[in-house]
Amino acid sequence: MFRSACLIFNPVAGQSDSEQDLTVIKNILEPKFDLDIQFTTKEVNAGELASQALENNVDLIIASGGDGTVSAAAKALIGTDIPLGIIARGTANAFANALGLPDTIEAGCKMIIDGATRKVDVGNCNGKPMILLTGIGFEAETLDNANREAKNRWGMLAYIISGFKQLQNFNKFNAEIETNDKIISVAANAITIANAAPPTSILAQGTAGVIYDDGLFDVTIITPQNKMSAIAASLHLLQSTNNDEAATRDDIGYLRTKHIKVTTDPPQKIVLDGEVIGKTPLEVKSIPGGLTVFTPKDQAVQAEEKLEHLPGVNIETKN
């Protein structure tokens, strides 16, 4: 039985009335838990509050906010047995959507009260914790060019606008991708390494659904030859994701692996869980079952890897 809970609440998340949201949460959870409510501020983030809660020996931690709040709290819990409850109140709610968690406050609270937990994978990217995905090329440039003012005004639309602007540049780069059993050399526009990803993370959707508890990363490699092909590839990924099917275009490759290294020429920006952290090279290692989360049960579909049809690809089998 979980008795003590720390609720980490971001009062500026989303566009709803935060005071009303908090009242609803308290009315549902306080009869069930000894609830300690902590608020994020500009000076104190969710990761710091979660670390303090661990020192206070709470039974569980609940993060209520957007992706930044959830991600920071989750990363503080990696490698512990303290479960994370998520009450999604942000604009995108990428991690919650990736895990199929409820999208309302009432349903999120009920899920936590029901008490069912699940171990999910996390990753280590260049020494930093990763719960969602890391990307290089098109996705990183799109994120970096979506400025704060645009995101505040347009929300998710800011990324779409930035993406179309980025298509005008259409920069390709040479990449060497090394896994446990092969070395892949290819000219690409984007490489995405996903631990978990919502359907809206289109460039991560080469496989038929990113599996977040199989100990493997889902890697998608995009290699269109021109702007029109890039648009067509993006639309194909969107369609295949909606149909729960793996990509079939020759300029989209994918594989699953628990360890990957990527070097590029020229160096490319790296985006990790929504933040640009530097430039390639990068190395990502899986930490199977590294995080315990309150989550509904679901089933995932396995996909075979597809690489050989990528234009100009060279694959070497490692001994």
What does the domain layout of the chain look like in residue ranges? 4-115, 128-289+298-317
Q: What is the pLDDT of residues 253-268, one digit of tens each?
A: 999 999 999 999 999 9
Among all chains, which residue has been given the structure tokens 């059993």? 181
Are 195 and 135 a contacting pair, CB within 8 Å? no
Confidence class of residue 149 from pLDDT cuts 50, 70 and 90? Answer: very low
Are 282 and 140 a contacting pair, CB within 8 Å? no
Helical axes 138-145 vs 157-167, angle rounded to 10°: 120
Q: What is the pLDDT of residues 43-102, one digit of tens each?
A: 999 999 999 999 999 999 999 999 889 999 999 999 999 999 999 998 778 899 999 999
Which fold does the domain 128-289+298-317 belong to in CATH?
A: Tumour Suppressor Smad4 (2.60.200)
- Which has more confidence, 200 or 290? 290
Confidence class of residue 139 from pLDDT cuts 50, 70 and 90? Answer: low
Check whether 299 has a pLDDT greater than 50: no
What distances in angstroms separate CA 152 from CA 3, 184, 214, one per listed residue? Answer: 38, 39, 35
Q: What is the pLDDT of residues 18-39, one digit of tens each?
A: 999 999 999 999 999 999 999 9
* Number of CB atoms found within 10 A of residue 161's CB: 14
Distance CA 79, CA 86 (A): 18
Q: What is the pLDDT of residues 113-135, one digit of tens each?
A: 988 899 999 999 999 999 999 99
pTM comes to 0.86
User: Looking at residues 299-319, what average pLDDT do you find?
Assistant: 70
pLDDT at 147: 47
Q: What is the CATH code of the structural domain delimited by 4-115?
A: 3.40.50.10330
Q: Cα angle vertex 287, ends 300, 265, to 5°? A: 95
Among all chains, which residue has been given the structure tokens 């908090």? 22
Q: Which of 44-58, 145-159, 265-279 has the lowest mean pLDDT?
A: 145-159
| Two structure tokens written together for 112 | 């936590």
